[in-house]
């Protein structure tokens, strides 16, 4: 982890912008609000019609203002990711999770979903948040702490999928978290490779030092 000084907290700006947008949506006439949300939704009908811009637009809207605990969690997770890995990494991981989870869920829904689900409103920040949260487990201490965090997050994401009243969004949360954990495992591998190379160079230097004395 290489902490970088932050000038503009982009995570906080994003969360604040989404929240302000939600309050603005509440002021719209109900019919207009519904049309806007459906136009920006990454539902099966929109994606099947080639409205790929919804993959980005849907991450900028929520159906209603975010509850304060969730808004604070979103800000904290994105803020820590910016501190740990930088703003570009955070944005890339968020968008990767949001887009990839949406497309994977769409791959299932396009054939199995009924008309109501295909037209459902599907906007929000949760897919990206789950991905970044899963990826951040690589910043925890190695060993039991990191493993427990990963298992605990998976358990929390699996539970809604197993209940009787589950929705495709519950499955999307699990997929997004899995993508984030995949990123964290990749970071672990890169970290181990880097450590191995450094240790190897150190040993070579130690062996050569008596000869150069």
What are the 10-residue block averages of pLDDT along the chain, 213 residues in total? 61 94 94 93 91 94 95 95 92 96 89 81 94 95 93 94 86 95 90 56 49 44
CA 73, CA 70: separation in Å to the nearest integer?
A: 5
- Count of alpha carbons within 13 Å of 158, Cβ hemisphere only? 7
For 98, list phi and psi in degrees, rounded to 5.
Answer: -60, -45
**Is residue 84 classed exposed, middle or buried when 0-12, 13-18 and 19+ CB atoms within 10 A define those classes?**
middle
Phi-psi domain of 162 (left: phi exceeds 0; alpha: psi -120 through 50; beta: other): alpha
pLDDT of residue 212: 44
3 state SS of 91: helix
Cβ neighbours of residue 82 under 8 Å, at least 6 residues apart?
A: 4, 6, 9, 10, 11, 90
- The closest of 25, 168, 13 to 78, measured between CA atoms, is 13
CA dihedral 180, 91, 127, 174 (to 10 degrees): 0
pTM over 0.75: yes
CA 42, CA 126: separation in Å to the nearest integer?
A: 13
- The closest of 61, 64, 60 to 27, measured between CA atoms, is 64
- The closest of 56, 63, 28, 30 to 42, measured between CA atoms, is 56
Cα 95 to Cα 102, 111, 159, 166: the distances in Å are 10, 25, 25, 24
CA 152, CA 171: separation in Å to the nearest integer?
A: 17
pLDDT of residue 207: 54
Rg (CA), the chain: 21
């Amino acid at each position: 982890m290489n902490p970088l000084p932050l000038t503009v907290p982009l995570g906080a700006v994003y969360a604040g912008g989404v929240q302000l947008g939600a309050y603005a949506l509440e002021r719209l006439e109900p019919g207009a609000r519904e049309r806007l949300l459906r136009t920006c939704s990454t539902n099966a009908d929109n994606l099947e019609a080639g409205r790929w811009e919804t993959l980005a637009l849907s991450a900028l809207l929520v159906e209603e203002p975010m509850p304060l605990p969730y808004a604070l969690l979103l800000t904290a997770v994105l803020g820590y990711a910016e501190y740990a890995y930088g703003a570009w990494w955070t944005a890339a991981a968020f968008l990767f999770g949001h887009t990839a989870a949406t497309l994977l869920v769409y791959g299932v829904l396009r054939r199995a979903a009924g008309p109501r689900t295909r037209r459902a409103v599907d906007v929000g920040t949760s897919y990206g948040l789950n991905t970044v949260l899963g990826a951040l487990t690589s910043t925890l201490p190695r060993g039991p702490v990191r493993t427990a965090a990963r298992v605990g997050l998976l358990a929390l994401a699996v539970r809604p999928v197993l209940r009787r009243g589950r929705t495709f969004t519950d499955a999307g949360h699990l997929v997004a978290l899995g993508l984030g954990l995949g990123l964290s495992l990749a970071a672990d591998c890169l970290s181990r490779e880097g450590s191995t190379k450094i240790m190897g160079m150190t040993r070579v230097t130690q062996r050569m030092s008596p000869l150069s004395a």
